[in-house]
Each structure stands twice: as C-alpha cells, then as structure tokens.
Chains A and B, each alone.
Chain A
C-alpha cells in the first residue's frame, strides 16, 4: 500500500513538473522538401534555403509577416536622397552577432564585396547589380571595391549609392544575398564556416544541428535584439523530398508545415482542400510557353497569336491541372501589388483560326511540323498533351511532344534549339519588373530570339522613372507589347502556392511569395 502511495505521489510530481502542452518548449517542424544546398547567404539561390537563412540571419530590412513589406531589421531607419539613388541606413546598435559582437556597417560592406567578388562564385550576384558599379566589379572590369556604391560612414551608418532609382531596393535588402556575414568566421573556417559550432549569425534563431539529408535544427537566439517577440524555442527543418511521404508525416503529426515546395499534386489537393490545414494562395510565378521566333513558322506573329488564342486556359486549369491554378494570358501574375495588370489574348478559337489562315495555313493546311519540348515531369506531360489536342481541334495542326531530361531541356533552350517549350518563371522580388525586364533584347532569360526596340525602350524608361505611378504605367505598356502584340510567349496560368499548416500555430499569413517569417509564428 505504501508502495502504491509513493508511486502515485511520484507520478503526480512528475505530472506537475512536466509543463502542459501550451507551456512546453514550442517546436515548429517544417517540411522543407529538400536538403539545403548551402547556408551561406552569398552562395544560396533557392527558396528552401531562404526559409532557413532568413531565420538565421537578418538584413537591413526584414519582411512583414502579413504582406512582406520591409520592416526594420538591422537598420532602424533610412533616408533617401531626392534623386532616389542614395540610401543612408542607420543601424540598430543593439544588433548582435551570436559571438556577442555588434553588427556594424562594415559587416555589410564585407558581405557585399564577397557577393560581388567573382572568386566567390555567388549565383545571385545580380541582386547587387543595382548598386553603383556592382556589375562592373562582378564582371571584373573594375577591381577597386572603393568604386562600388557601398560605404560604412561609421559603425552604425551605411551609405548605399545605386546606379539608378530602384523602387524595390528596400525589398531587396530583405533577401539573403544582401545579408551581412561575419568576417571573422568566414575567414577562419573557409567553406566550413556554416557548420554548427562555427557559424556566427545575427538573426532571430541560431543553428544547433545540421546533418545532411536528415535534419537541421535552429533554436531561439537569446542575444537577438528583438528576442522578446520570438515565440518559438526550436525549429526543425526536415529535408524529406517525397511529397506522399511528407503528407503521411503530416497526418502522423511528425511535421507542422508542409511548405509550397511540396507542390501538392491534384490528387492530394482533392483530399485536403476542404480541411482547415490546407491553404492556397496565388503565387508570384507564371507558367507559360516560349516560342522560338527565329524559326518558321513561329517567326510569324500571326501564328504565335493563333497558337496562344487556341489555348482554353480555363478548361486547362479546371480539368487538367486541377490544383487551383489561376488561368491567365498575361505574364505578370494578376495579384501583383500596385499593378493593375494587362489582359493578354484570351481563348478565341474563331479569331485564332482566322489568323492562322491569314498566315497561309487555312484550317492548318500546309502547317510545317512543329515540336513542343518539355522537361520530363507528369504535370508538364498532361498540360502539353492538352495543348496538343486544343491546337488540333481548334487549328487543325499537329504538334509533336518531346520530353527531355532537365539539363538537356535547359541546354537546348539556351541554344535556341527548340520551337515551342514549356517554362515557368518565379519573381525575385515583388515588382512587375522582375517579370518584364527579362524579355529585353539579348537578355539571358529571354531565350526566344525575340528582339523589340520599342519594348527595350519602355523597360529602360521604366527603370529611370522615379514616380511610382508613371513607372507602373510604362511597365503596363511594355507588358502590352509582350502579351498582346508580339507574343514571343504564351502565358497559361499563375502558379498557386499550396501547403498544409497545423492550425495550432498562429502568425501564419498567406502571401504572394509564400514566405512566413518564423519570428512571427507562435503556438496558439
């Protein structure tokens, strides 16, 4: 009897000692869908990396969890010169590295030099091409970094001079390429500096464990200047790649957030879409087809228009892709803030037929063989098959489908060795420019052979316009040329980011980039 009583007492004591779930250390587990390639802000180039690095480090500005607008990070505030080219940032003297040292303006100068230094091999170096002479330094045409527009005026004042006014520059400072890095750790450990125990960071969380392909664990950084508003104690990033496995992990309670990188297929969307854990939001990305304008018959704009107008986008998203995609014949996603958007050439089979006849192929007669290339993937296969049928039905033409492996697809597109190719584009920042400046003559991501002097002039003009409304108007004009007049591309739909989030967490706000600052996530 005494034994039972003492056992009971022990159990009770234990129950009191173990905090209730609400008070327990709060752990947030994220299905990041891949092993991060790197944690070095200068070398990273992907979205899964962004989820981790933006929690480990902090730039001049950070993102508001609701609409991603820039909110103070290391910088307390800034001033902008009248001509819109000189930013002067005042840094927060409370900002600290995890080794206790203050984050200074020199840390930014060091980090930006490192990104632009060709020896570093930073894939996203072009994010700093907006800074005066940034591109020249990266190309090696100048070697004196003193000529590049970034100066530490004193410990807490950073002055940045841009090539030209850039409306979205503050937004760019929230992106990892522009984060500060600690010179002492980078120089002491070389490529190993991002490992646990060596890494020195300045964000709301710090790295405690990283086993490749297995796990990556962050914990709250007590020395962070705004540690008081960080609610999570630990964050676990799971690199599991298989979407079916990840959804089963979610069901079993092994993960709390299935990120949009999972790209839930239609079959799983159908199962989850009515449950509270499911979320879907228009994404800053467009699914489209490139047309190689250097080869007949696609060198004829009437043929390109006919092909685009024979695509029934509504039917495609409704009965083929079926995961909530938004049919769109414009290239800039429809939900771009402050941009009213352009209407492209929508589905109009009669007009498409007429245009094709005008181009010399009435009813598709005499239309030369055309090949549509896509990279091997189930979704692309069903979409291209649908297009093949639509073109056959509405235009009477036969298009052959060719699927190739990813790297072959990229190499052929780069060499203009294709006729029509599927493609996708995700914006780098929340501004229409990231969708439109890529189509200028000779642009690295143009890859259609299309060149248009008027379009180039409009993009240049927009870049030099300071007034936000006038700039958006010019960009609209450019998009009109792109999707109504010239059509080197046929946009099809706006991507949707979709995922699963455990509703026992708060502070998770759907937005156009599906970015969810972990600083704001808290258990309910």
Chain B
C-alpha cells in the first residue's frame, strides 16, 4: 500500500516538471507581454521593468532560474500585483476555493446519491422520471444562468442570503449550490445506472435471501459497489470543484484561485500562470491518487495483491 502511494508520487514529479516546462515556453511564445497596455510605456520604463523581473535575460537562463526557485518553493513575484508574490496570492485563494469546492461536493453528493438510489429503486415510476428529468435539467442549465436565478430568488426577493462576496457561511451557500447542482445531476444519473446493474447481481439476491431488510440491501450491499463509477467520476470532478469554477467565482465574487488562472493568462502574468498551472496539476494528481485508493477500499477485488 505504502509502496503503491510512493510509486504514484514518484510518477507525479516528472508530470509536474513537464507541466511547468511546457507552460513556461508556451506563455513566452504567446504574442504580447506583461507590460503591454493601452497606454504604451515609455521605452525607458519598459526596459527597467523588464530588467526588474529579469525578462531581459536569455530565455533559457530565465527558465533555469525559475525552476530552481520553484524547487525552493518560491513561485516568484506577481507581475500584475507587485505588492504580492504568487505564492502569497495562491495561499490566500486556495483555502477559499477548497471551502467552496468541498461545500459544492457535499451538495452534489447529498443531492445526487439519494436521488440516484431513489430513482433506481422506483425504476420507471413517476418518482424516477421526475428525478431524472430534474437531473437532465441540472446538467443542461449552465451555471451562469442558474447562479443569477438563485440570487434573484434567495438574495433579492427573499433577502435570506447575500448577492455576492465572501466572509461567512451565508456567502458559501449560493455558489456551492450553483456549482454543486450540476455535479449532483451527473452523480444522480450515474448512481441510478450503476444501481440498476448491481441490483441484479447474485450477492444482492443472496443478501435478500438471507432476510436482510431491503433498506440494508440497497444502502449497504448494492450502493457500495454502485459507487465505483461515481467515485471514478468524482476524482476529476473533485479536482475541478476544489480548484473552483471561474464562472461561479466571478458571478459570486469568490476570492478563490479559479479566476487567477484565466486572468493571469490574459494578462501574460507569466509567474502567476505557472504558479496556478502547477497547483492545478498537483491537485489533479492528488485526486487521481485518492480515487485509486478509494477504489481499493470499495471493491476488495482491486485491492493490491488480490
């Protein structure tokens, strides 16, 4: 088990190295630079800015310097926000994105799993059609429509929750629901399909034959196996949720890292682009690893050595 984890972590290093390298050079190939603006800087000023951030050195030297700094844990200064470093901004934004992501994940699971199970148990009855219809709607409604709709109802009409911002649990509810419902719909459909398949298996019949109550058969025996496809979907989904959604972060003005990822690229804020790309990649690698571990726990057949 430990060896498995160690091996996977060892694979992660070259992946991150490749991400950093490719991002570094792709950003430099993109036209325009961090200091281009509508009001063009006088040449002297632009020269001194480039010197200050060492952009006047040969590209390979910049690359070597950057990689050496990253190994020491220094992601460099932000070009756009000179009062802060990239590491500082990510350290401030990441917990916010993680909070929102976890809340959204909780919404997705709390709504999606019971809905999927209920639909499967009442297959082809009204409850099934209603649930799956809603799920279809959930997958199709984009969050830039759902978000403002929720705001109009719960913030403007009812006045229960704030329109946007961050700072208390009340600020988390609407963005978490907006972000989570899409995944809830997906999870609901996945759970339903998996449950329908599992319920026909011998071990379920055995459990029933042994007189186990139906509730226990469904929630304990069947769901555990039915969760496998859901879990493999959850890996990348969780990574996406936890790093935030650019759209939801923008609509609700959530101070997470999601927005940096896009705006930094548009601003040619080289160090910020690299920093966020590295953090995203690390999270993806970590979640894929967690998914593999969860698989082993859920299905004894995949456990190492089995």
Which residues of A approach B to under 8 Å, CB–CB? 35, 37-40, 43, 45, 118-123, 125-126, 135, 138-140, 191-192, 194-195, 211-215, 238-242, 244-245, 248-249, 251-252, 254, 405-408, 410-412, 414, 423-426, 444-445, 447
Contact A242 B36 (CB under 8 A): no
Min CB distance, B89 to chain A, in Å? 6
Which B residues touch A408, using CB under 8 A? 30-32
Which among B45, B77, B167, B267 has the highest number of chain A CB atoms within 10 Å? Answer: B45
Which A residues touch B164, using CB under 8 A? 240, 242, 245, 248-249, 254
Asked if B42 is at the interface of the complex by the 8 Å CB criterion, the answer is: yes
Asked if B139 is at the interface of the complex by the 8 Å CB criterion, the answer is: no
Min CB distance, A190 to chain B, in Å? 10
Which among A35, A126, A139, A213 has the highest number of chain B CB atoms within 10 Å? Answer: A213
Instruction: Give A135 to B266 CA distance when docked, in angstroms.
Output: 31
Using A239-B253, A249-B163 as known contacts, say yes or no to A244 and B148 having CB atoms under 8 A apart.
Answer: yes
The 5 A-B residue pairs whose C-beta atoms are closest, nearest first, are A407-B32, A213-B255, A118-B48, A240-B253, A411-B32
Min CB distance, B39 to chain A, in Å? 6
Instruction: Give A22 to B37 CA distance when docked, in angstroms.
Output: 44
Contact B37 A410 (CB under 8 A): yes
B31: contacting residue among A39, A240, A411, CB under 8 A: A411
Contact A191 B42 (CB under 8 A): no
Contact A192 B40 (CB under 8 A): no
Contact A414 B36 (CB under 8 A): yes
Interface segment, B59-67, B80-88, B102-110, B200-208? B80-88
Contact B36 A410 (CB under 8 A): yes
Instruction: Give A215 to B49 CA distance when docked, in angstroms.
Output: 28
Asked if B236 is at the interface of the complex by the 8 Å CB criterion, the answer is: no
Min CB distance, B267 to chain A, in Å? 8
**Interface Cβ pair total, 8 Å cutoff:** 153
B81: contacting residue among A37, A125, A405, CB under 8 A: A37
Which B residues touch A445, using CB under 8 A? 39-40
Using A123-B49, A194-B83 as known contacts, say yes or no to A212 and B253 having CB atoms under 8 A apart.
Answer: no
Asked if B24 is at the interface of the complex by the 8 Å CB criterion, the answer is: no
Using A118-B44, A241-B250 as known contacts, say yes or no to A254 and B52 having CB atoms under 8 A apart.
Answer: no
A39: contacting residue among B40, B48, B53, B83, CB under 8 A: B83
Asked if B198 is at the interface of the complex by the 8 Å CB criterion, the answer is: no
Provide the main secondary structure of the chain B interface. loop
Which A residues touch B49, using CB under 8 A? 121, 123
Contact B266 A240 (CB under 8 A): no
Instruction: Give A414 to B41 CA distance when docked, in angstroms.
Output: 11
Asked if B156 is at the interface of the complex by the 8 Å CB criterion, the answer is: yes
Using A214-B165, A411-B31, A444-B43 as known contacts, say yes or no to A242 and B251 having CB atoms under 8 A apart.
Answer: yes
Instruction: Give A212 to B166 CA distance when docked, in angstroms.
Output: 11
* A43: nearest chain-B partner, CB-CB: B82
Asked if B183 is at the interface of the complex by the 8 Å CB criterion, the answer is: no
Q: Assuming A135-B44, A215-B165, what are 6 further A-B pairs, CB within 8 angstroms? A: A126-B42, A212-B92, A244-B148, A407-B36, A407-B266, A423-B38
Instruction: Give A212 to B178 CA distance when docked, in angstroms.
Output: 23
Min CB distance, B272 to chain A, in Å? 12
Asked if B252 is at the interface of the complex by the 8 Å CB criterion, the answer is: yes
Using A35-B81, A248-B151, A412-B31 as known contacts, say yes or no to A213 and B259 having CB atoms under 8 A apart.
Answer: yes
Instruction: Give A38 to B44 CA distance when docked, in angstroms.
Output: 21
Contact B165 A248 (CB under 8 A): no
Contact A37 B80 (CB under 8 A): yes
Which A residues touch B32, using CB under 8 A? 406-408, 410-411
What are some 10 contacts across the A-B interface (CB < 8 A)?
Answer: A45-B39, A214-B166, A241-B253, A242-B164, A245-B250, A252-B159, A406-B266, A407-B30, A425-B38, A444-B42
Min CB distance, B82 to chain A, in Å? 5
Which B residues touch A244, using CB under 8 A? 148, 251
Which B residues touch A411, using CB under 8 A? 31-33, 36
Instruction: Give A183 to B207 CA distance when docked, in angstroms.
Output: 78
Min CB distance, A178 to chain B, in Å? 16
A40: contacting residue among B42, B80, B83, B250, CB under 8 A: B83
- Give the number of residues in B that approach A within 8 Å (Cβ atoms): 52
Instruction: Give A122 to B47 CA distance when docked, in angstroms.
Output: 11
B162: contacting residue among A39, A135, A194, A254, CB under 8 A: A254
Which A residues touch B259, using CB under 8 A? 213, 241
Asked if B155 is at the interface of the complex by the 8 Å CB criterion, the answer is: yes
Asked if B101 is at the interface of the complex by the 8 Å CB criterion, the answer is: no
Instruction: Give A215 to B96 CA distance when docked, in angstroms.
Output: 14
Instruction: Give A212 to B37 CA distance when docked, in angstroms.
Output: 22
Min CB distance, B193 to chain A, in Å? 37
Using A123-B45, A244-B148 as known contacts, say yes or no to A251 and B156 having CB atoms under 8 A apart.
Answer: yes
Chain B 226-260 interface mask (CB, 8 Å, partner A; 1/0): 00000000000000000000000011110110010
Contact A212 B250 (CB under 8 A): no
Instruction: Give A445 to B42 CA distance when docked, in angstroms.
Output: 9
Instruction: Give A120 to B240 CA distance when docked, in angstroms.
Output: 39
Contact B31 A211 (CB under 8 A): no
Min CB distance, B96 to chain A, in Å? 8
Instruction: Give A434 to B196 CA distance when docked, in angstroms.
Output: 72
Contact B163 A248 (CB under 8 A): yes
Instruction: Give A43 to B53 CA distance when docked, in angstroms.
Output: 14
Instruction: Give A191 to B75 CA distance when docked, in angstroms.
Output: 16
Contact B165 A38 (CB under 8 A): no
Contact B253 A238 (CB under 8 A): yes
* B148: nearest chain-A partner, CB-CB: A244
Instruction: Give A252 to B42 CA distance when docked, in angstroms.
Output: 44
Which among A251, A425, A447 has the highest number of chain B CB atoms within 10 Å? Answer: A251
Which B residues touch A254, using CB under 8 A? 162-165
Which B residues touch A140, using CB under 8 A? 44
Which among A37, A214, A248, A423 has the highest number of chain B CB atoms within 10 Å? Answer: A214
Chain B 150-179 interface mask (CB, 8 Å, partner A; 1/0): 011001100100111111000000000000
Asked if B268 is at the interface of the complex by the 8 Å CB criterion, the answer is: yes
Contact B251 A212 (CB under 8 A): no
Min CB distance, B298 to chain A, in Å? 38
Which A residues touch B47, using CB under 8 A? 118
* B266: nearest chain-A partner, CB-CB: A406
A424: contacting residue among B38, B44, B148, CB under 8 A: B38
Contact B52 A121 (CB under 8 A): yes
Which among B31, B36, B47, B167 has the highest number of chain A CB atoms within 10 Å? Answer: B31
* B34: nearest chain-A partner, CB-CB: A407
A410: contacting residue among B38, B151, B155, B250, CB under 8 A: B38
* A404: nearest chain-B partner, CB-CB: B31
Asked if B180 is at the interface of the complex by the 8 Å CB criterion, the answer is: no
Asked if B93 is at the interface of the complex by the 8 Å CB criterion, the answer is: yes
Which A residues touch B252, using CB under 8 A? 245
* B252: nearest chain-A partner, CB-CB: A245
Min CB distance, B148 to chain A, in Å? 7
Instruction: Give A138 to B47 CA distance when docked, in angstroms.
Output: 11
Instruction: Give A411 to B37 CA distance when docked, in angstroms.
Output: 9
Which B residues touch A213, using CB under 8 A? 93, 253, 255-256, 259
B163: contacting residue among A139, A192, A211, A245, CB under 8 A: A245
Instruction: Give A119 to B253 CA distance when docked, in angstroms.
Output: 35
Instruction: Give A119 to B77 CA distance when docked, in angstroms.
Output: 15
Min CB distance, A341 to chain B, in Å? 23
Instruction: Give A158 to B287 CA distance when docked, in angstroms.
Output: 62
